[in-house]
Amino acid sequence: MPSVAIDEAMRRAVLLAARGLGTTSPNPVVGCVLLDSAGEPVGEGFHAYAGGPHAEIVALAQAGERARGGTAVVTLEPCDHTGRTGPCSGALIRAGVARVVIAVPDPDPVAAGGADTLRAAGIEVVTGVRAAEAEAGNIAWLTAVRRGRPYLTWKYAATLDGRSAAADGTSMWITSEPARMDVHALRGATDAVIVGVGTVLADNPRLTARNLRDGSLAIHQPLRVVVDSSGRTPADALVRDAAAPSWIATAADVGAGPDGRVDLSRLTTELYRRGVRSALLEGGPELAGGFLRAGLVDRVVGYLAPRLLGAGPAALGDAGVTTLTDAIDLDLADIDRVGTDLRITATVRQREA
């Protein structure tokens, strides 16, 4: 069992790591707290942006000589390679820390190995402290690296009877302003937003992360991805403006599946190659069904408005389910009230191969 000081330091490190959500890709979010030899906090840090100093380096700079003989508490195994910055394992060794406490090992074969390097230098290494919390806070990056594709969240808004629009096609606005603001916060914490060309043609969305009260843009803007098999996105579509980067993904670009449309599995592989580790699917019911059919959705965030329509398009199209036993099962993670709406967050239960 870790000491109270180390357990509390890891709790703090997990909170620090979350400050980097949306700005560190293709790197992970990481938090670090340094304790001196008496167990008192003397430095802390988090990885704020790709290419910037890692969490351990920020914490070591704060601690200075007080790190010698102390303990570094870090949410992810310190890196052991030289990229845009040097290896954190070496920095910890040079600082003279006596112990390093790690929540989660690094699954990236390029960067992993820090724990072994630290042990070889005579430093005590402890692993697994608050591992579940650290894993949850870094789930997008960890899942992406393990699978070679982005962690994909399908976001949708619907009435209580599951309609995404009325029978005449009107859909603005099904949910309340607080719920829509919450969606913009989701966008601001992700690397890419994905829609289909049908959504672009019907709604002409900008797909930026904004403050809905004053219209100002968030500091971080996700890559806007339009799944457009035959290149029908208009030249003057708002998604092509200069507010954020865009990619119109065509079948000629990505590759076509058996139906002649963009191969969604290849699309996610290409997004990973481009540095996308988390993606938010905001497309219509047909595209959502396609991603679910392909087994590419990891999480679902649904905003349910206290309204009934009785007719109109459903929030989800054909997801490849023909009988109840084939239903895509979800594990509920959170239910919360946002404005007048319910926000339900669930993870997709992985089926046994």
> Where do runs of H (alpha helix) occur along the chain?
4-17, 55-63, 88-95, 114-120, 131-137, 139-147, 177-188, 197-203, 251-254, 264-273, 285-293
Give per-residue pLDDT as tens, 327-352.
Answer: 999 999 999 999 999 999 999 998 76
What span, in angstroms and rounded, lies between the C-alpha atoms of 159 and 190?
25
* 153 and 129 within one domain: no
Contact assessment for residue 14 and residue 6, using Cβ atoms and an 8 Å cutoff:
no
Give the pLDDT of residue 1. 66
* 307 and 159 within one domain: yes
Contact assessment for residue 114 and residue 5, using Cβ atoms and an 8 Å cutoff:
no
* 165 and 133 within one domain: no
Contact assessment for residue 147 and residue 154, using Cβ atoms and an 8 Å cutoff:
no
Which residue, 138, 162, 192, sits at the end of a domain?
A: 138
With b for 16 or more beta-carbon neighbours within 10 A and e for fewer, the 19-44 pattern comes to: bbbbbbbbbbbbbbbbbbeeeebbbb
Its pTM stands at 0.89
Domain limits for position 120: 4-138
Give the pLDDT of residue 169. 85
- Residue 108 CA, chain-centre distance (Å), reads 17
Give the pLDDT of residue 352. 63
Give the pLDDT of residue 213. 76
How many folded domains does the chain comprise?
2
More confident residue, 85 or 266: 266
The 3-state secondary structure of 246-263 reads EEEECHHHHCECCCCCEC
Here the CATH number for the domain that contains residue 342 is 3.40.430.10
Average pLDDT over residues 77-97: 90
* 334 and 270 within one domain: yes
Q: How far is CA 249 from CA 26, 208, 255, in A?
A: 20, 18, 9
With b for 16 or more beta-carbon neighbours within 10 A and e for fewer, the 94-127 pattern comes to: ebebebbbbbbbbbbeebbbbbebbeeeebebee
Specify if 42 maps to a domain.
yes
Strand, coil or helix: 50: coil
* 57 and 198 within one domain: no
Specify if 353 maps to a domain.
no
Specify if 253 maps to a domain.
yes
Specify if 173 maps to a domain.
yes
Specify if 207 maps to a domain.
yes
Active-site residue flag, 133: no
* 152 and 134 within one domain: no
* 127 and 164 within one domain: no
Give per-residue pLDDT as tens, 108-158.
Answer: 988 889 999 999 999 999 999 999 999 999 999 999 999 999 999 999 999
Amino acid at 53: P
Give per-residue pLDDT as tens, 159-216.
Answer: 999 999 999 988 888 999 999 999 999 998 899 999 999 999 988 999 998 887 777 8
Specify if 217 maps to a domain.
yes
Phi/psi at 55 (nearest 5 deg)? -55, -40
Give the pLDDT of residue 171. 83
Give per-residue pLDDT as tens, 209-263.
Answer: 888 777 788 778 999 999 999 999 999 999 999 999 999 999 999 999 888 999 9
Assign 296 a pLDDT band (cuts: 50, 70, 90): very high
* 129 and 181 within one domain: no
Could you tell me whether strands 99-104 and 124-127 are parallel, antiparallel, or unpaired per DSSP bridges? parallel
Specify if 143 maps to a domain.
no
Contact assessment for residue 265 and residue 294, using Cβ atoms and an 8 Å cutoff:
yes
Assign 17 a pLDDT band (cuts: 50, 70, 90): very high
* 159 and 27 within one domain: no
- The set of residues, in sequence order, having a beta carbon less than 8 Å from that of 66 and lying 6+ positions away, is 34, 36, 42, 43
Amino acid at 160: L
* 297 and 188 within one domain: yes
The 3-state secondary structure of 299-343 reads EEEEEEECCCCCCCCECCCCCCCCCHHHCCCEEEEEEEEECCEEE
* 111 and 200 within one domain: no
Give per-residue pLDDT as tens, 311-332.
Answer: 999 999 999 999 999 999 999 9
HSE-CB for 23 with a 13 A CA cutoff = 16
Which residue, 138, 172, 191, sits at the end of a domain?
A: 138
| Active-site residue, selected from the candidate residues 44, 56, 133, 270 | 56
* 156 and 101 within one domain: no
Which residue, 110, 138, 166, sits at the end of a domain?
A: 138
- Residue 238 CA, chain-centre distance (Å), reads 24
Specify if 321 maps to a domain.
yes
| Other beta carbons less than 10 A from residue 177's beta carbon | 13
